[in-house]
Structure 1
Amino acid sequence: MANRAGFLRSATFRNLAILIVVWEIVGRMNWIAGGALPGLGEILIRLWADRGDYPGHIWATVHASVLGFVIGNFVAVSAGILFVLFPTLLRLTRGFNIAVFALPPIAIAPILVLTLSGMAPRITLAALGVYFVTMSATVVGLSQFDSRAADVVRAYGGKDWMVMKLVRLRGAVPDILSGLRIAAPNAVLGAILAEFGGGGRWGLGTYLLGSLGRGDPARLWGIGLVATLIAGLSYLVFAIISARTLGSSRSVTLNTALPDAEDGAARPLALRLAVIAGAALLPFFLWWAFIKATGVPDLIAKTPLGVLDYLFLSDTSHVARAKLFAALAQTLPITAVGMVAGLGFAFLLAISARMFPGFIKTFMPIALVTQTMPLVALTPLLVLILGRGTSVTLWITISVTFFPAFVLLVQGIQRVPQSVLDLP
């Protein structure tokens, strides 16, 4: 009871209450884009009216998200362990890993829907959405271990696998959990994107697609908030686990040892060139193999040679290049500005989280909503509010850049040993 009374008197509760009241007034008065942002009360009323529609759609989305999350993270953690034990394998697959991360889900979703059946496209896209984040966090966590503890294990006859089991995996838990916190909303987004273009009956993405043409912003916001709630809860689960395990897995004092530098010059030149060539060619080989194995027609997906022909060898290649460069000229400047702004904002907020905990408690719910509301649900709403211009693109770019960087920065700051903070 005392905790509840304390929360009701806190600045966090006061600020959230003010935000809700302002939202309700702005929505009721139709001050934003003629009613594109309804009041919270209108959204909740519409949610209640549509309550019979949601259980089947929510179950379909959660089912695909959970399966994709489990499969993707199992592969990611396993790959991270192998990459740390065998660094050459990491260098060999670097091009593939970057390609998986950089591949736009909105572009691959239709191909997966056409080549796979049933729940497979949703599960696959959810798994792809979580793989790179968790794999990278695993590699970073396993690489930045306390070498003093590893020396103790080796002194008692332990091999690399025992060091991995007793030292590296234990020390990597906070980093892996940070990756899972970011990956969980990505799994929901991947499943909804596949539903959005999958033509199925069930799923929040399907429900959203069917509601876009009805001119009912309250329903669209309701679907978006339900998706946000699912993604936000998945984030909070791993945030709570991370907070409870951080103290038992970090060093009490600063480890003065530095990780071993990558000694590329010690390897034969032929091996280094082979690894570089393999890293560059592996993504293209897997791309070609996937298309050939699934039998996707050229009209839907081209092989690497098909893309080369389209851009450089065909009679109309100059037209294709002109269109591509024109599109890049529009996209790259906004991308650069949004990335710099998002990273800068994340850095400032991460520092503020350490210096002003009360401020960050108020800001975090807003930041969590902007991150966990799937873009496929958020984008139509932002277009209604901001229009089809540069501002909506810049907003989305800042949003997707800010939150992952913020989570990783805060996690890194929290792992600083207390003995370092106590230094004058």
Structure 2
Amino acid sequence: MATKTPAAKTESVLSLRQKLARYSTVRNWLLLLVFWEIIGQLRLVADGALPAPSAILARMWVDWADYPPHIWATLEGAGAGFLIGNAVAIAAGVLFATFPLTQRLARGVNVALFALPPIAVSPILVITFSDMTPRIILAAIGCYFVTMSATVTGIQQTDRRIVDVVHAYGGRQWKTLIYAQMRSAIPAILSGLRVAAPNAVLGSILAEFGGGGRFGLGVYLIGSLGRGEPDRLWGIGLSATVIAGLAYLLFSLIATRLTGTSKAVTVPASPPAPKAEKSMVLTLALGTVSFALPFLLWWLMLAIMGTPAMIAKTPVGLFDYLFMMPSSLVSLGKLATALGQTLPMTMVGMAVGLSFAFALALCSVLYTAIIRGFMPVALVTQTMPLVALTPLLVLILGRGPSLILWITVSVTFFPAFVTMAQGLSMVSRAAIEVPKAYGAGPFRQLWLVSIPASLPYLFAATRLAVPRALLGVMIAEWLATGKGLGNLLNQSRGYLDYGMIWSVSVVSVLISVLFYQIVVAIEQRVLSKRGMAPAQ
């Protein structure tokens, strides 16, 4: 009788572990559904605000005739935006990786697009464009940054030996790009597409919230808010979640088939930074152009479209609205009041969400069963459109500060947890064995080795949380609380106060960019002292 080799035994053990992990995941989901069914049937949450899954499915069956046009409209905008956004992102990634100077010049635009709260620009797109265009643009913006970052990372991390082989056979820059770098970048690009797919769905729904069209899941959700029918709202929200989740799963399967791996669940919060220029004058010049380029593109786009000045505010027109007109003091007062309501909740929610994510990420190292139990929830929540989640939480928590805090924590927690856990899991086992050999316990090992080694990922998680926190607060204000920047944006849309719409949008972007740059500055200072590079 043949005996198994050590390699075969190891493979058998790994296969058994994978099967047990799948069983554990299925069991956890079944237990969650049973628990949810009991709570819903007994009406234990806000007197039926959380319906049982069976009741939600029954209502979806009754309303099924309503779903096809709404789902198709959302998919149409998300699909077109996905194709356009990713095509531009991959082209930009190739350009940035091939010519690093262009990456320095475009850094301001890239950071602005990453930090852009979609809810802030949705009304502008709706009043500036027509038909499906706002949905397509917002979906494309949601796809651009993650795919561009993944493309740059994949190309720059190409094995140098492969490049040398192409060069040895006479291959020049473009042949090296086609035959070596792009092939090497495929796994990274597919990782970006996995995250971009649900982002496109979210962008399309957000444009629908801003008033873009008669059909779409966002339109359906808004129209159903005042009817007091939790089962219908949950059905619409879960439908949006399923669409986003299937989009994520589709590209996960493609990645598994093409590359043999699908373990990446997130992407960097910033593209790899190009090498710093030695000349101080050149560095200042590049920084100035990078800062000015977003404003130049803003003005140029409005000039090309020929949108009336009353609707489309250029940077100069917005300055006049806020500082030179007789009503400027009133406008500034409204803006300041809204900022005073939005910023504290954003800061508190982000701090609590990041702290919770960090604590659970540490627990995932000490107790590996936690990561197996929470990772499916993290993936589903990462694909869940935030606009679908908010009305459901309104039914449970009401319209007070607790709703804003809950939403902000939830949207910042899961992506941050995934990123932090990924960083902690990549710490070298050999490095951990050193303090362990001197008798250090698990907590001491984390403090001495794991946490310092994963600092780049902790900062990456913080960068990732900044725009999501502001987005969560503004959506809650828009839909529920009647306060803050989100509510001011909604009111201004109703009053046709285009100057205030542009003001809120620009201020929201500037706040996100400012927070992002503060995190980057702290990260560079801390990591440079430790001789570490940022997570890419």
How far apart, in 2, do the equivalents of 1:142 and 1:422 lie?
34
**Counterpart position of 2:300:** 289
1:387 pairs with 398, 414, 426, which one? 398
- Residue in 1 aligned with 2:105? 92
Given candidates 369, 373, 382, the residue that maps to 2:384 is 373
| TM-superposed deviation, 1:395 | 2.8
Equivalent residue of 2:278, what SS? helix
Match of 1:127 in 2: 140
Residues 341 and 139 of structure 1: is their aligned pair in 2 closer, same or farther, counting only changes over 3 Å?
farther
Per the alignment, residue 66 of structure 1 pairs with 79
CA distance in 1, matches of 2:43, 2:145: 42
Change (3 A) 1:323 1:56: closer
Query: What CA deviation, in whole Å up to 9, does each residue of 1:76-106 have, x standing for no partner?
Result: 0110110111111111111122222223222
Provide the residue aligned with 1:28 in structure 2. 41
1:321-362 CA-to-partner distances (Å, cap 9, x unmatched) read: 344344333333333343344445555666766776654343
Which residue, out of 41, 48, 53, partners 2:66?
A: 53
1:195 to 1:212, Cα distance in 2 relative to 1, 3 A: same
Aligned in 2, Cα 1:247/1:372: closer, same or farther, shift over 3 Å? closer
Note the C-alpha offset of 1:264. 0.8
Contact 1:171 1:249 in 2 (8 A): no
Q: What corresponds to 1:218 in structure 2?
A: 231
1:23-422 correspondence runs (5 A) = 23-198=36-211, 200-246=213-259, 262-266=275-279, 269=281, 271-343=282-354, 345-346=356-357, 358-406=369-417
Q: Structure 1 stretches of 5 or more lacking a match?
A: 251-258
Report the counterpart of residue 256 of structure 1 in structure 2: none
CA 1:412/1:280 → structure 2, altered by over 3 Å: closer, same or farther?
A: same
Alpha-carbon distance change, 185 to 9 in structure 1, aligned in 2, over 3 angstroms: closer
> What is the number of residues matched between the two proteins?
410
> What letter is aligned with 2:116?
L
Please list the CA deviations of residues 298-336 of structure 1 after superposition, one character each: whole Å capped at 9, or x if unmatched: 554422112222333334444433443443333333333
- Cα distance 1:91–1:369, how it changes in 2: closer, same or farther (>3 A)? same
CA 1:375 to 1:78, structure 2 compared with 1: closer, same or farther past 3 Å?
A: same
Distance 2:399 2:177 in 1: 51
Q: Which residue of 2 aligns with 1:253?
A: none
Distance in 2 (alpha carbons) for counterparts of 1:168 and 1:9 = 35
Aligned amino acid, residue 85 of structure 1 = T
**Quick one: distance in 2 between partners of 1:150 and 1:337?**
48
What is the rounded CA distance, in whole Å, between the counterparts of 1:407 and 1:66 in structure 2? Answer: 26
CA distance in structure 2 between the partners assigned to 1:139 and 1:404 by the alignment: 21
CA spacing shift, 1:203–1:147, aligned 2, 3 Å = same
Residues 23-32 or 184-193, more deviating:
23-32
Deviates more, 1:30-39 or 1:222-231: 30-39
Kindly tell me: are residues 199 and 386 of structure 1, through their superposed partners in 2, closer, same or farther at Cα, counting changes over 3 Å?
A: same
State the distance in 1 between where 2:284 and 2:318 align.
26
TM-score by length of 1: 0.84
What amino acid maps onto 1:33 in structure 2? A
- The offset of 1:226, in angstroms, is 0.6
Q: What residue identity is the alignment partner of 2:335?
A: L
After TM superposition, give the deviation of residue 74 of structure 1 in Å: 0.7
Preserved CA contact (<8 Å) 1:178 1:407:
no
Match of 2:523 in 1: none
For 1:240-275, what per-residue CA distance to the aligned partner results, in whole angstroms no more than 9, with x for missing partners? 33345555899xxxxxxxx99714114x72x44432
CA distance in 1, matches of 2:421, 2:191: 10
Judge conservation of contact 1:353–1:410 (CA < 8 Å) in 2. Answer: yes
Tell whether the 8 Å contact from 2:202 to 2:386 is kept in structure 1 after alignment: yes
Higher alpha-carbon deviation: 31-40 or 190-199: 190-199
CA–CA distance in structure 2, aligned partners of residues 201 and 56 of structure 1: 10
Partner Cα distance (1:200, 1:261) in 2:
42
> What CA distance in whole angstroms lies between the structure 2 residues aligned with 1:222 and 1:249?
29
- How many Å separate the matches in 2 of 1:159 and 1:326? 58
The question of whether the paired residues in 1 share the 8 Å contact of 2:130 and 2:212 is answered with: no
- CA-CA distance at 1:126 after TM superposition: 0.9
Note the alpha carbon deviations across 1:365-393, whole angstroms, 9 max, x for none.
43233332212221111122122233322
Which amino acid letter does the alignment assign opposite residue 193 of structure 2?
L
Q: TM-score, normalised by structure 2?
A: 0.67
Q: 1:47 Cα deviation (Å)?
A: 0.5
Sequence identity, in percent?
Answer: 57
Distance, in Å, in 1 between the alignment partners of 2:245 and 2:193 is 12
Deviation string 1:390-418 (CA, Å, 9 cap, x unpaired) is 33223333333344445556777888999
| More divergent stretch after superposition (72-81 vs 321-330) | 321-330
Shift in Å, 1:26: 1.7
Moved more, 146-155 or 119-128: 146-155
Structure 1 residue 45 displacement after superposition: 0.6
Q: Which is worse superposed, 165-174 or 94-103? A: 165-174
1-structure distance, mates of 2:411, 2:289: 31
Q: Distance in 2 between matches of 1:147 and 1:402?
A: 37
Shift of 1:69: 0.5
- 8 Å Cα contact 1:350/1:410 also seen in 2: yes
Deviations 1:99-136 (A, max 9, x none): 22223222222222232222222211111111112112
Q: 1:296 to 1:212 in 2, by over 3 A?
A: farther
Q: Distance between the aligned counterparts of 2:366 and 2:174, measured in 1?
A: 40
Conserved 8 A contact 1:23-1:39: yes
> Is residue 100–residue 274 contact of structure 2 (8 Å, CA) maintained in 1?
no
Relative distance call for 1:318 and 1:9 in structure 2 (3 A) is closer
Q: Which amino acid aligns with 1:395?
A: W
